[in-house]
Amino acid sequence: MKPSKFHYHAPATIGDAVGLLGAHADEAKVLAGGQSLVPMMSLRLATFGHLVDLNKVDGLAGIERSNGHVRIGALTRQATAEHDTTVASDVPMMAKALPHIGHFQIRNRGTVGGSIAHADPASELPAVALALDATLEAAGPGGERQIAAADFFEGTWQTALAEDEILTAVRFPVWGAASGFAVEEVARRHGDFAICGAVCGVELDGDAIVRAAIGLFGVGPTPVRSTLAEQALIAGGAGSDLADIARQAADPLDPSDDIHASGAYRKQIAAVVVRRALTKAIEEARS
């Protein structure tokens, strides 16, 4: 057996799950899809005394549109969201990001909330949540609270969730009809973690850009939102020099070196993927 020993809990309600996390404090870990957690445990990169499995909790999965938002339950499988018509029409950036995650067998089990709460800096969904100003719903001993994506990602695998809090859903704002979105990444092999990737969205009014989102992943300890480049794009409109906008997005980055790529290379790739994604997003918004 590869993982170290742990007590297994499968609570039926979110209240029980929160209670278990509180009772076992830093000994406990939430298990959702497990597609990142289980390998980390098998490689003994992580050990926990207690696993709190959310898979038997009722009401944590599901996709619904209401009030200008699409709300995706945290335990919704990535494969379910990938093939969902509401996600495809109302949160296209999410629909375009999902196929980049691992392989279909991984997405059959992996969850939308799990990926965001895991907060791997090289993964797609945290960048989507950040770029789209998603609202994260969390349950804890004091009840529920909402966290803006901008306040959620604190470091590699670190989020604003307290030890006894559970991410229960993610709400994405729905953009207008004249919008376009694109996800571009560079990875060594299909399904690998990206060396660097970009998620971009634009909403047009004629040639004016009324809303822009530029998110990057794989370029630091958290996903990065390029607010300055977004402002430059909105100021310049759909005819902007996108290579220049992309350079503005990449300039402030300081990615570190690892065995897959040097920081300097990542920074160069960041400008490339932003330019490609913006080009596609604007094309889509115009069509």
Partner 1 sequence: MSETISNVTVTITVNGRQRDVTCEPRKLLSDVIREELVLTGTHVGCEHGACGACTVLVDGAAVRSCLLFAAQMDGAEITTVEGIANPDGSLSDVQEAMRDNHGLQCGFCTPGFVITLTAFLRDHTDPTDDEIREAISGNLCRCTGYHGIVNAARQVCGRANGGES
Stretch that binds partner 1, among 5-13, 126-134, 171-179, 272-280 (CB under 8 A): 5-13
Using the rule CB under 8 A, which residue among 23, 25, 59, 104 binds partner 1? 104
Nearest one of 183, 257, 252 to 213, comparing CA atoms: 183
- Angle, CA 28 vertex, CA 22 and CA 33 arms, to 5°: 115
Rounded Cα gap, residues 28 and 45, in angstroms:
15
Q: How far is the CB of 35 from partner 1 (least distance, A)?
A: 6
Q: Tell me if 187 contacts partner 1 by CB under 8 A.
A: no
Which DSSP state fits 3? S
Distance CA 273, CA 197 (A): 6
Shortest CB 106 distance to partner 1, Å: 7
Q: Which of 74, 16, 25 is nearest to 50 (CA)?
A: 25
Q: Output the DSSP codes for 237-257.
A: -TTS-HHHHHHHHHTT--PPP
Cβ 108 to partner 1 shortest distance, Å: 4
**Near partner 1 by CB under 8 A, which window of 173-181, 185-193, 251-259, 268-276?**
185-193
Nearer to partner 1, 8 or 177 (CB): 8
Among 142, 191, 206, 239, binds partner 1 (CB under 8 A): 191
Supply the minimum distance, in Å, between the C-beta of residue 25 and partner 1: 16
User: Shortest Cβ distance from residue 246 to partner 1 (Å)?
Assistant: 28
Q: In terms of C-beta density within 10 A (0-12 exposed, 13-18 middle, 19 or more buried), how is residue 25 classed?
A: exposed
| 9-68 residues near partner 1, rule: CB under 8 A | 10, 31, 34-35, 38-39, 41-43, 49, 51, 53, 55
70-99 positions binding partner 1, by CB under 8 A? 79
Tell me how far apart the alpha carbons of residues 12 and 22 are, in angstroms, rounded to a whole number: 16
The encoded tokens of residue 214 equal 């530029």
Longest dimension (CA), the chain: 60
Q: How far is the CB of 9 from partner 1 (least distance, A)?
A: 9
In what helix (H) or strand (E) does residue 140 lie, and over which residues does it extend?
strand 135-140
Which residue in the set 103, 145, 188, 286 belongs to the binding site for partner 1 (CB under 8 A)? 103
Strands 7-9 and 50-53, by their bridges, are parallel
Q: How far is the CB of 99 from partner 1 (least distance, A)?
A: 8
Residues in contact with partner 1 by CB under 8 A are 1-8, 10, 31, 34-35, 38-39, 41-43, 49, 51, 53, 55, 79, 102-106, 108-109, 189-191
